[in-house]
């Protein structure tokens, strides 16, 4: 049976500058040429990840916005799930978002409530992806795949507590990074999206290996038959999967090194 390789991006497949390195690209290109299926699973926007996939140079399914969108290697959308508009509007009000930089993902792009140029400089060197400033508190709430709150971790934990107290079973909420809290529809996760991709390709979960470093990778690693935790992974991910092997960090090209060992490259 065909094997699926699925990996998170930031802190996992990408280096400390959030870029694709040659060793990793060459490894995935070799495996793709041998017939292995590849999926990228990330909290990033589809329009952003297309550019990263191009830098990797492989055909890959894209699980984006933490599973709220799934596209095939030809960029055809095969799955989409939005936050209910009324709930999205409520989540973008100051009484919820206070203490953070409020962001939202829609199909057309990335919306931010105010200018924040440092965001683009850090994360989007390979893709050229950028934001549009928008009055999110006045947004209709239609078509929103994901809402992001960026800020100090303590402030974000307070936002998380407010959201869980008010809307607990109506959302899927997770940290994609220490300074980034993200909210999606309750049926959304990387694990749910990965299950859909595996079913579409007729690949059994036991023939899937997955790599992650963040809290938003917990469900994905639970789905995969072989899960690997990065050395630099968040404590929450390590605690959720204490029995999974820990491999090298993203700075040590941990994913590529593990794949070369597994598949004798």
- Residues tagged active-site: 8
25: exposed, middle or buried (Cβ count in 10 Å: 0-12, 13-18, 19+) = middle
What is the rounded distance in angstroms from the CA atom of residue 63 to the CA atom of residue 208? 15
Phi, psi of 146 (to 5 degrees): -155, 145
- Name the DSSP letter for residue 151: S
- 35 CB-side CA count, 13 A: 4
Query: Contact 67/184 with Cβ under 8 angstroms?
Result: yes
How far from each other are the two terminal CA atoms of the chain, in whole angstroms?
19
Sheet holding 109-112, edge to edge: 131-133, 109-112, 101-106, 144-150, 180-184, 172-177
CB atoms within 10 A of CB 149: 26
Strand ranges, E, within 87-231: 101-106, 109-112, 131-133, 144-150, 172-177, 180-184, 208-212, 226-230
- Give Cα separations from 25 to 1, 78, 213 (angstroms): 24, 25, 19
The per-residue b/e assignment along 203-234, b for 16 or more CB within 10 angstroms, e otherwise, is bebeebbbbbbbbbbbbbbbbbebbbbbebbb
């Amino acid at each position: 049976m065909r094997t699926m390789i699925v990996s998170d991006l930031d802190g996992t497949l990408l280096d400390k500058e959030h870029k694709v390195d040659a060793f990793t690209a060459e490894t995935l290109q070799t495996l793709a040429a041998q017939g292995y299926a590849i999926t990228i699973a990330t909290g990033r926007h589809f329009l952003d990840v297309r550019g990263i996939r191009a830098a990797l140079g492989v055909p890959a399914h894209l699980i984006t916005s933490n599973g709220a969108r799934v596209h095939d290697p030809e960029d055809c959308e095969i799955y989409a799930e939005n936050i209910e508009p009324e709930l999205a509007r409520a989540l973008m009000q100051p009484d919820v978002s206070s203490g953070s930089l409020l962001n939202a993902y829609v199909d057309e792009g990335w919306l931010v409530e105010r200018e924040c140029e440092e965001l683009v400089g850090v994360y989007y060197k390979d893709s050229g992806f950028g934001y549009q400033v928008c009055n999110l508190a006045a947004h209709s709430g239609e078509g929103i795949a994901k809402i992001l709150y960026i800020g100090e971790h303590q402030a974000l934990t307070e936002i998380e507590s407010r959201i869980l107290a008010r809307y607990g079973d109506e959302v899927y909420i997770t940290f994609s990074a220490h300074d980034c809290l993200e909210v999606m529809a309750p049926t959304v996760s990387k694990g749910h999206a990965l299950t859909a991709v595996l079913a579409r390709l007729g690949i059994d979960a036991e023939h899937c290996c997955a790599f992650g470093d963040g809290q938003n990778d917990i469900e994905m690693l639970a789905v995969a038959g072989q899960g690997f935790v990065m050395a630099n992974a968040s404590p929450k991910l390590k605690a959720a999967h204490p029995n999974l092997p820990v491999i090298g960090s993203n700075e040590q090209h941990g994913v590529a090194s593990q794949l070369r060992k597994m598949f004798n490259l």
